[in-house]
A and B are shown apart, each in its own frame.
Chain A
Amino acid sequence: QKEVEQDPGPLSVPEGAIVSLNCTYSNSAFQYFMWYRQYSRKGPELLMYTYSSGNKEDGRFTAQVDKSSKYISLFIRDSQPSDSATYLCAMRGGRRALTFGSGTRLQVQP
């Protein structure tokens, strides 16, 4: 079983929709939770960062962490075609390196 599970998609939504992306994990030591966005043929770039449980909002993006359920989410409001990318959840505990989900490919249709 993978430490981090993420639905690979693809997820196709119309422009303006609310998008929900999710990951589950099994390692209780994870404390730092991140979402990376990766455009085609580019490296991942950090989108959102959350420490421990709770919500964090940044513009159209909201990250949620529920440590009791070992479940994290990323919500995108008013989705745009420019949001079309692969979204990777990542998390870290004591180890310096991140553990990634497999990524969800999102397509926002104009």
Chain B
Amino acid sequence: DVKVTQSSRYLVKRTGEKVFLECVQDMDHENMFWYRQDPGLGLRLIYFSYDVKMKEKGDIPEGYSVSREKKERFSLILESASTNQTSMYLCASSPNRGKNTEAFFGQGTRLTVV
């Protein structure tokens, strides 16, 4: 089974802190994604990466950056956390092969910024 693992289930951080969210996948997938999920807004794409050291902005990249130094690991960085970044963060990965490039999700990290 594909496994996408996020390093923390729950995090509480202070305003202004630098926050790192880590994600690791074990299926050699080319693509990795970071979404945030908020009530009434669904999942919104923050950043994605289609190869090591390659990244593309999603729909809401402001206030975030990412790092992909190894194929299996994709990190989301909040440079200076703010209260409006309190949310559920979901990492996903998908392969390039074939038509059915479904995304597999991690369990999510619920981040609270106080």
Q: Which residues of A contact B (CB under 8 A)?
A: 4, 6, 8, 32, 34, 36, 41-46, 49, 51, 88, 90, 92, 96-103
Contacts and interface: CB of A to CB of B under 8 A. Distances in A.
Contact of B90 (A32, A43, A99): A43
A51 B103 contact: no
A49 B100 contact: yes
A44 B105 contact: yes
Contacts of A4: 42
B31 interface: yes
Interface of B: 4, 31, 33, 35, 40-45, 48, 50, 58, 90, 94, 96, 99-108
B70 to A, nearest CB: 19
19 contacts: A34-B102, A41-B108, A42-B108, A43-B107, A43-B108, A44-B43, A44-B105, A45-B105, A49-B102, A88-B43, A90-B103, A96-B50, A96-B101, A97-B33, A97-B45, A97-B58, A98-B43, A98-B45, A98-B103
A96 B107 contact: no
